[in-house]
A and B are shown apart, each in its own frame.
Chain A
Amino acid sequence: MNKYYNGEVLSGFKDALPIAIGYIPIALAFGIISKANQISLWDCFLFSLFVFAGASQFMAVNLIAATVPAFQIILTTAVMNLRHFLMSASLADIIKSPRKKLIPLVAFGITDETFSVLATKNKELSFFYTLTVNTTAYFSWVLGSVAGYLLGSVLPEAIQSSMQIALYAMFIAILVPSMKKSKEVIFLALLSGGIHAFLNISHLIPEDWNLILSITLAALIGLMILPKEEGGVNP
């Protein structure tokens, strides 16, 4: 029994390492930008501790600095993070349901990055594995934010810059092996990325909606075009 838990925790930690590597430079930058915009260390800490959503935290600090009303900042956050609804829905089915009380614990840790790691394992995930992936990512995010605030640019600039490629490299490394196995994955990913690029360039709709609309549209078009047989994207 104990051995089982250790194994799940260890493999969760290993799978979350690329996320932690990718989060650290961004979290440091969040701490630094918080300080630069006269946000207290305590609030910077609470942002990362309670919100745990990188893009909206940066947005919030920028809007606070521009004295945008709180209501509008919260509304923008709501729109930006609506996409997690799709991600949690996609995961709800593959995480072995723990006791009901523990579900919020898992749900809290769903980010673009944890989702990308979890959803592409193509197997049912144990509660402990999932929680370890999320918690590892979470700790690197919270600790990184505080470290950035307190220590400033601890990493030499060239290292800090080059680490910004890390999360993209992780997304690529998760996606490419699936693309190798399935033409449908190639179709969905390129379609979704293409729609996203188009929306970014065309400014057709308010920017906050671009990501969720791209994902939804691509999956819907996939429903209409791709063949129905079972396991098409999960060979």
Chain B
Amino acid sequence: MDQSFWTYFFVIGTFATYIGIAIWTRAGSTREFYVAGHDVNPVVNGMATAADWMSAASFLSMAGLIAFLGYGGSVYLMGWTGGYVLLALLLAPFLREFGKFTVPDFVGDRYYSSLARVIAVVCALFVSFTYIAGQMKGVGVAFSGFLGVDFNVGILIGMAIVFVYAVLGGMKGITYTQVAQYIVLIFAYTVPAIFMSIAITGSPVPQFGFIGNAAGTDVAMLEKLNTVVTNLGFTQYTQTTKSTLDVFCITAALMFGTAGLPHVIIRFFTVSSAQNARKSAGWALLFIACLYTVAPAVGAFARLNFIDTVNEATYIGDNENYEQRSADIIARGGKPVPVWYKDWEKTGLLKYDDKNGDGMMQYRGPNAPDGVANEVVPNRDIFVLANPQIAQLPAWVVGLVVAGGLAAALSTAAGLLMVISSAISHDLCKRTFMPGLSERQEMVIARVAAAGAVICAGLLGIYATQLPFVAQVVAFAFGLAAASLFPIIFLGIFWKLMNREGAISAMLVGLISTFSYIYYFKFGGGSSEQWFLGVSPEGIGFVFMWLSSAVGIVVSLATAPPPQEIQDLVEDIRIPGTRSAHGMAEGGMAPGE
């Protein structure tokens, strides 16, 4: 069985499963469409949240980024898991007690203002579209690297699949497909990691291999890696060139951003009570940790394997016969460029430039002790996908990893589509502009909006190919969520006196400041010497989060306090069971309605 057989086998098999689940779990009402009927089991929701949350960035990009950033990659590991502590302790149970369907629902009711709701919709749409572009790019990378399909055609196939189950099944369909996708992606991630861990460290548990010795020696694997990379002129693997403040801010922006992401928050509306929302956050983090504690090991192994197979290999051009030349090179005691490299070179994601004209591939860092210039430039997004080939694992593992990458990207894309469609059909149409809509009409609008969002997302994916790495595109969404959504949700629960004026000004300050900063430095030509306090655009969301909170608090104190019934509402959502006892946490009623 060759590799493309297995790839088609896993990809078609998993896609058929997702569609089967979607047909089986069709949504019949708006409650089912938006929140899967409010009765998802906390363990099931935890697993769905894990798949919802772990995107193409986590699956495809993160280990590759860690491989090249070393300690600097820790920002993603801590940032994307620590946010769950904030979610569990500060947001999820209270938002569930509040009930309703969406984040703008909460903002609109808590701040008794349609304007606040509309601004929250804008924030949610902004965050979700930024994020979804990254997912579509991941789908394109997976398809173009393996199935010999054009990047854009790959995106179209992905969109067609998501279209079927998101539009048909709504949140209910998405929940159960996400469970299936979690199982696919966690197998796809850990199986190659176990193989690599055995080969490099001799331990079958990657978490132990990570802190263990290199196989057959008494040198720690990380120490060996440090020696290898410093000899080539890179920074030590366990160190970073980023400042401590910047590492701190990026980690924090990712953490608070995670807690403020609408597509993660809405998953906690699907369980039956505040208590189950807390439990669900714990299960979600457990399922996420299964991947996140393996990722740093994968990163370290990938870096070692890459250097081992590529550095000082003899290049073979496209016009030469690969088999013949590589046999020649091996016979002369040399190392030919590996097959996986030639495969991936076609995608344009690996570049080789023979600067010294010796036909060998020198891979070097900026401070190479031997003064040789670097000739190989890898795109970090390919590593997880290429790892099984680099480590020469069986062909079926490669197929499994491709299916896993697609599962990660599609599950997140589906969750984001729910946010986009509910923001339009529920928050804008039903709650703001057309309160007279019947449930049936609202469902039609929700499905049309989901379909429209699928098309927009596909176009974004196609035109986003020139954007930087998947994980970095996604990092913007976090800054925006941290600065605009997190503060007003948090203050809305923990500070009774936060009022309409405060919330509106806080959201606007957070959104505008973070967007301008990121835009200026990423697309507007700003240089890193101009960074505010030396904080990079990835971390600025954390700084502006404080600014927007401060503005919100000052404005709230300077204007009239919220009406008594809103203050009562806040007291109620703090005590689990109060609102559900009144039947308020179930339906679409605003306080006083």
Partners in one complex: no
Please report A residues at the B interface, Cβ cutoff 8 Å. none
